Chains A and B, each alone.
Chain A
Amino acid sequence: MSAVVAARGLGKRYRRRWALRDCTLEIPAGRVTGLVGPNGAGKTTLLSLAVGLLAPTAGTIEVCGGRPAAGAAQLAKVGFVAQDTPTYAGLTVAEHVRLGAHLNPRWDDAAARRRIDRLGLDPRQKAGHLSGGQRAQLALTLGLAKRPELLVLDEPVASLDPLARREFLQVLMEAVAEDQISVLLSSHVVSDLERVCDHVVVLVDSQVRVAGDVEALLASHHRLTGPRREPRTLPADQHVVWDSHTDRQSTYVVRTDAPVLDPAWSVTPLGLEDLVLAYMEGVSPPAPASPTLEAIS
């Protein structure tokens, strides 16, 4: 399947400050993609551009084959759970479901009611009186019952306690398994994404540092520890992502498709969090988004 989100030279400027600049990326369909990056990297801006809340200043973005928010049909294809999961404080849970039913042609009312029921939300409760976790669940329910092709979530769990986080992500994953939708969610907490994502995009300073399937990324990145060595003495096929040196010892995070054979190194695998952190902290110039890593077919 083709890309569900394709951005080319995408940029967004607020007055004189660029919130996102020259961003090029593709997000494959049918995956759960995590968008990771430090605060201020442009994650929210990118997602807002993807759902059409913002219009790009430069470049283009295509979502589900169309320009974001170009019309009712395009809007129906993309669900969005915004940051801090806004809901109408004065409307009840049931009225939110009704709102969704009135405003979406593909609305799955039975599923929405079932989900509300299972979450234990009181339909007569005003949304303003819900806890943060319940509100997030309500917003997620609205996003899913719309039956979009792509569901975009902006920091959905950032303000939730650990238990609510786990519940939220669990509900999300179940729904994804049931409905076969593509998901794009952002977070600055990598451990959240590790559980749910099979594709990851690391965004630093509005640039894509690395993008790829989680499994492929983990298989191709290694931490090398050994006697001190200069970066330029490493084999050509080992791209340095991150390095750290003491007087005697060097530690590298490298990306390579070939196995590391040098017996001087002690090679350890990386977790997703370490890998992402290595890219975020990486002093080296941004690695080009290597086609070998992007499992886009």
Chain B
Amino acid sequence: MIWLSWRQFRMPLLVVSTLVVASCAWLAVTGPALARLARRNVDVYDLLTSTDKLLFNGGVVVLAVVPAVIGIFWGAPLVARELETGTYRLVWNQSVTRVRWLAVKLGFAVLATAVVVGILTAAVTWWAHPLDGAVGAQRGSLVSRLTPISFAMRGFVPVGYAVFALLLGTAIGLVVRRSLPAMALTLAVYVFVQIAVPLWIRPHLIPPTTATVTIAQKTLDGISADGSGPFQIMVRARHRGDWVLTNQTVDSRGRAAALPSWFTTCLPAPPGASGGADRAEVQSGRDRLDACFTRLTDEGYRQRLVYQSHRIFWRLQAAETALYLLAAAGLGAFSLWWTRSRLS
């Protein structure tokens, strides 16, 4: 059975392994230079070439796509193709029970997936490590590793995604019994899960920290107005790598509140709006802003931050990986049960 699994799997494995090795080689060539750059410079972002940034974002994209590709091209046809071409009637009548047949097939595919995706993720994580969360002195930044998109492409959580995608594909293929619809359905379900988890589940996997911050110029991140709506204040996270879930203004009773109406008129004109901005004008603007913030604080307004600290990165990785592996185990058990009792 192991020989057959290997024989049926070696071509797709060879293709994917080649791609992974090629990617790793490319990362290995460009990686050390980046690390040196980052060690010597605080503002590494400003020194990056556009190729570096492309590679950084490319790594994110590749790791986002690989688990889905594995689910679609390894998982969905794993059993569906046998059902489709009728070869299950050949292999199920050798002296191996079909549960064992599927278990070995799945075990092989899971192992291959974990190794391939594990290596690729480790390589990308290592490569991107000096760049994660790099911020330019003036403008521009790269996402830090705890932000939803980047988090999913670092550490070991992609292994969980890939194993989940593989077993999701297998289970859907088993039920649908046709490769192509199973592939499409696998992609749809996987994409949905990948959107739903960072949106609704990941923020609560580990209880987030809540902090109340006084609004002042040194804590301010920005003031924004969406269209004609009221102004909104955002304050800075404690640490650049924190993942901010909520950033809202609360009143003296601790309830979310809109900014008072006087605030809009209190604000100074943006510097430079009235033409040549001399130093005195900027300074008077700052003073007015300070006055506005002081009045806000006196009236009891504070800014509430709910965030995940950058320190929990690995704990959150472990929790989310466990969640996905648990779901994958459930799908695997379902597949075995379905093969034994429903596929007849």
Cα(A75)–Cα(B101), bound, Å: 13
What CA separation (Å) do A80 and B93 show in the bound complex? 6
B112 → A minimal CB distance (Å): 18
Query: Would you list 10 pairs from A and B whose C-beta atoms are within 8 A, ordered by A residue?
Result: A52-B344, A71-B97, A76-B95, A80-B89, A80-B93, A87-B87, A95-B7, A98-B3, A102-B2, A105-B95
Interchain nearest-CB distance for A175 vs B (Å): 17
Mark contacts of A99-135 with chain B using CB atoms, 8 A cut-off: 1 yes-contact digit, 0 otherwise. 1101111100000000000000000000000000000
Is B86's CB under 8 angstroms from A84's CB?
yes
Please give the number of chain B residues whose Cβ is less than 8 angstroms from any Cβ of chain A in the complex. Answer: 22
Asked whether A142 and B344 contact (CB < 8 A) given A91-B7, A102-B4, A105-B95, the answer is no
Instruction: Using CB atoms, name the residue of chain A closest to B96.
Output: A103
How distant is the Cα of A90 from the Cα of B87 in the complex, in angstroms? 11
Judge whether B90 and A86 touch: CB under 8 Å. yes
| Interface presence of A55 (CB below 8 A) | yes
Most buried by A among B8, B96, B100, B344: B344
Q: Does A82 contact B (CB under 8 A)?
A: yes
Please provide the chain B residues from 120 to 138 with a CB less than 8 Å away from any CB of chain A in the complex. Answer: none
**Chain B residues with CB under 8 A of A289:** none
Chain A residues whose C-beta falls within 8 Å of the C-beta of B85 in the assembled complex? 86, 89
Q: Count of A residues near B, CB < 8 Å?
A: 35
**Chain A contacts for B115, CB-based, 8 A:** none
Quick check: is A51 within 8 A (CB to CB) of the other chain? yes
Contact B97 A51 (CB under 8 A): no
Contact B1 A78 (CB under 8 A): no
B341 at interface by CB-CB < 8 Å: yes
Does B94 interact with chain A (Cβ within 8 Å)? Answer: yes
B8 to chain A: which residues have CB within 8 Å? 88, 90
User: With the chains together, A72 CA to B100 CA distance in Å?
Assistant: 10
B1-31, CB < 8 A from A: 1-4, 7-8
Min distance, Cβ B147 to any Cβ of chain A, angstroms: 43
Which B residues are CB-close (under 8 A) to A95?
A: 7
Known A55-B344, A95-B7, A98-B3: A88·B90 in contact at CB below 8 Å: yes
Q: Indicate whether B108 reaches chain A with its CB closer than 8 angstroms.
A: no
The A42-58 residues at the B interface (CB cut-off 8 A) are 51-55
Q: Sort A-B residue pairs by CB-CB distance and give the 8 closest, nearest first.
A: A103-B94, A82-B89, A86-B86, A76-B95, A80-B93, A55-B344, A104-B95, A75-B95
Q: Indicate with 1 or 0, residue by residue over B63-92, a CB within 8 angstroms of chain A CB atoms.
A: 000000000000000000000011101111
| Shortest beta-carbon distance from A12 to chain B in Å | 9
A72 to B92, CA, bound (A): 10
User: Which residues of chain A are near B3, meaning CB under 8 Å?
Assistant: 98-99, 102
Interface flags for B187-226 (1: CB within 8 Å of A; 0: not) read 0000000000000000000000000000000000000000
Residues of B within 8 A of A53 (CB): 89, 92-93, 344
Given contacts A72-B95, A76-B95, A86-B85, contact A103 B90 (CB under 8 A): no
For the complex, is A146 an interface residue (Cβ under 8 Å from B)?
yes
List B contacts of A69 (CB < 8 A): 92, 97-98
Q: Which of A73, A75, A105, A139 contacts B90 (CB 8 A)?
A: A139
Given the contacts A55-B341, A55-B344, A91-B7, A100 and B87 also touching, CB distance less than 8 Å: no
A75-B93 contact given A98-B3, A102-B3, CB 8 Å threshold: yes
CB distance from A107 to the nearest CB of B (A): 8
Closest-by-CB residue of B relative to A143 is B93
Residues of B within 8 A of A55 (CB): 341, 344
- For residue A156, CB closer than 8 A to chain B, the reply is no
Q: Given the known inter-chain contacts A53-B344, A98-B3, please indicate yes or no for A103 contacting B86, CB distance below 8 A.
A: no
For B89, list chain A residues within 8 Å (CB): 53, 80, 82-83, 86
A73 proximity list for chain B (CB < 8 A): 95
Is B341 within 8 A of A103, CB to CB?
no
Residues of A close to B344: CB separation below 8 A: 52-55
